[in-house]
C-alpha cells in the first residue's frame, strides 16, 4: 500500500523546525520530528546540499542515491549559504519564527557565524536549540571531529563487538549517529514540554559518544565495584545461556533466547529432553551461565537435526523466543512485517513505489506518517522565505543573484 497522504492530526504539526548541518546524527533527529508532523525545514548549502544526497547505493533505473529518500523524508528543503553574512542574517530572521533549531556543526561554528543560542534566543526566548556533536559542547575533546565510528569506540560499543580472538568489529550501520539523533529528539520533546510550563527554551546537548555510553547497561559499575571488564564474546553474552545463534540442517542459523528458567524448561520439552531442566548444571540461571558451552552444544545438536524454519515453528508453539536472521528480502516477504505495515511504500519523485521502514513508535490516536520522500534540493526555498519572512519576488531574486540561496 502506498502511503503519501498527511494524517489529519499529528502530534507535532504545530512545531516549526530549522535543521542545519548534514550527514546522519542531526538529520535523524529531524527525521523523527518530521515523521510526527513537525514542519522541518532542511537548510542546505546552495548547489550541493547535504552530503547524504550522495550517500548509499543508487537506484538501478535512475542512478539516484536512495538513502536521502529516507533521512530527508517529510522535510522541506531551503538553500541558504550560512557562510555569507546575508545568509546568516536570513537565518536569524527565520529563527524568530522557529520552535526548534537542530545543528550538528563542530562546537563554536554557530558562534562564529553570529548564530549562537544567546543571540537567537534574544528575539525568541522560547527557542529550543538542539546541538548534536561527536563529543558534546564542552570538555577537552569538544572541538574534535567526531564521526560515529570513533565515538562508538570511545563509548564502549566497539570493544564489545566481535569475537575475543580478533580485533573488534563495527556494527553494520552508523548506530552511534542514529542513537545521538534519537536522544536529540527525546531531548527536544523534554525541552518543548518544559517550555509549555515556563515559556523559555533551552539548549539540548546530544553527543554521539554519550549516546552510545548510555546504552552500555551496567558496564561501568561492574568494573568499579566488581573489578569486571566486559569482553567480546561473539554471538552470545557471557553468562547468559542458552542465548545464541544455533546452526540448522539447511545451513541457516536460528537465534534462540531461552535463558530464563521457565523458558529453558519449555525449550527442553520442545527438544524432547525435559529432564535437562532439572539437571544441576542447567537448573538455574547462574548454573547455565557457568556451563554455557555445554548447554549451547546440546541445543546445537538438536537444531542441526531440523531445517531452520521448522525449529522456529516448533519453538513458537512452545513459547520459546526464536527467530531467523533476517536480511532485507526476508523483511519484505515476512507476513508479520506486512500485517504491521512495518515497511511502507512511498511514491518517489518519479511516481514509482519505494519501500522503506515506516514511522515508529506507533501512536493510537495521532500516528505519524511518511508523507513524501526527501525533497529536491531547494525545492521549497522561495515558498518558505515568502511565507516566513514575507520576502517579495525582487528580494528573492537578489538573494539568488548573490548566491545566498
DSSP per position, 307-338: -HHHHHHHHHHHT--EEE---HHHHHH-HHHH
CA distance 328 to 149: 23
Q: How far apart are CA 374 and CA 231, in angstroms?
A: 41
Closest CA to 50 of 87, 75, 32, 17: 75
**C-alpha–C-alpha distance, residues 329 and 343, integer Å:** 12
The beta strands (E) that lie in 15-57 are given as: 16-19, 39-44
Contacts of 129 (CB under 8 A, 6+ apart): 100, 101, 103, 117, 120, 121, 201, 202, 203, 204
Q: How many CA atoms lie within 13 A of 244 on its CB side?
A: 24
What positions carry a catalytic annotation? 177
- d(C-alpha 203, C-alpha 201), whole Å: 7
Strands 243-247 and 100-103: unpaired
Cell 552470545 belongs to residue: 236
What is d(CA 27, CA 221) in angstroms, rounded to the nearest whole number? 33
Give the ranges where 227-353 is alpha helix by DSSP (H).
261-270, 285-290, 292-303, 308-318, 328-333, 335-340
Amino acid at each position: 500500500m502506498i502511503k503519501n497522504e498527511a494524517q489529519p492530526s499529528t502530534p507535532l504539526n504545530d512545531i516549526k523546525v530549522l535543521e542545519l548541518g548534514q550527514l546522519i546524527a542531526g538529520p535523524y533527529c529531524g527525521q523523527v520530528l518530521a515523521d510526527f508532523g513537525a514542519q522541518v525545514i532542511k537548510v542546505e548549502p546552495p548547489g550541493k546540499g547535504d552530503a547524504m544526497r550522495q550517500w548509499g547505493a543508487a537506484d538501478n533505473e535512475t542512478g539516484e542515491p536512495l538513502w536521502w529518500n529516507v533521512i530527508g523524508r517529510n522535510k522541506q528543503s531551503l538553500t541558504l549559504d550560512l557562510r555569507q553574512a546575508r545568509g546568516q542574517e536570513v537565518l536569524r530572521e527565520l529563527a524568530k519564527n522557529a520552535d526548534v533549531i537542530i545543528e550538528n556543526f563542530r562546537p563554536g561554528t554557530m558562534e562564529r557565524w553570529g548564530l549562537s543560542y544567546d543571540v537567537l534566543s534574544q528575539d525568541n526566548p522560547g527557542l529550543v536549540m538542539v546541538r548534536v556533536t561527536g563529543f558534546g559542547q564542552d570538555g577537552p575533546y569538544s572541538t574534535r571531529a567526531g564521526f560515529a565510528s570513533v565515538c562508538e569506540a570511545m563509548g564502549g560499543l566497539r570493544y564489545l563487538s566481535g569475537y575475543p580472538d580478533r580485533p573488534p568489529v563495527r556494527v553494520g550501520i552508523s548506530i552511534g549517529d542514529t542513537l545521538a539523533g534519537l536522544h536529540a529528539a527525546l531531548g527536544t520533546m523534554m525541552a518543548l514540554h518544559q517550555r509549555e510550563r515556563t515559556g523559555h527554551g533551552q539548549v539540548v546537548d546530544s553527543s554521539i559518544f554519550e549516546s552510545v555510553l548510555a546504552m552500555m547497561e551496567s558496564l561501568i559499575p561492574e568494573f568499579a565495584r566488581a573489578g569486571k571488564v566486559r569482553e567480546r564474546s561473539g554471538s552470545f553474552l557471557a553468562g547468559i545461556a542458552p542465548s545464541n545463534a544455533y546452526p540448522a540442517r539447511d545451513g541457516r542459523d536460528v537465534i534462540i533466547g531461552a535463558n530464563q528458567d521457565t523458558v529453558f524448561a519449555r525449550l527442553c520439552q520442545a527438544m524432547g529432553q525435559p529432564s535437562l531442566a532439572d539437571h544441576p548444571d542447567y537448573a538455574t540461571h547462574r548454573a547455565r551461565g557457568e556451563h554455557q558451552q555445554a548447554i549451547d552444544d546440546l541445543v546445537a545438536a538438536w537444531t542441526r537435526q531440523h531445517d531452520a524454519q521448522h525449529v522456529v515453528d516448533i519453538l513458537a508453539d512452545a513459547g520459546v523466543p526464536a527467530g531467523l536472521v533476517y536480511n532485507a528480502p526476508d523483511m519484505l516477504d515476512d507476513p508479520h512485517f506486512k500485517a504491521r505495515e512495518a515497511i511502507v511504500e512511498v511514491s518517489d519523485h518519479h511516481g514509482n513505489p519505494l519501500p522503506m521502514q515506516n514511522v515508529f513508535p506507533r501512536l493510537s490516536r495521532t500516528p505519524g506518517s511518511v508523507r513524501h520522500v526527501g525533497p529536491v534540493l531547494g525545492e521549497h526555498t522561495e515558498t518558505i522565505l515568502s511565507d516566513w519572512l514575507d520576502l517579495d519576488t525582487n528580494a528573492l531574486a537578489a538573494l539568488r543573484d548573490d548566491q545566498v540561496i
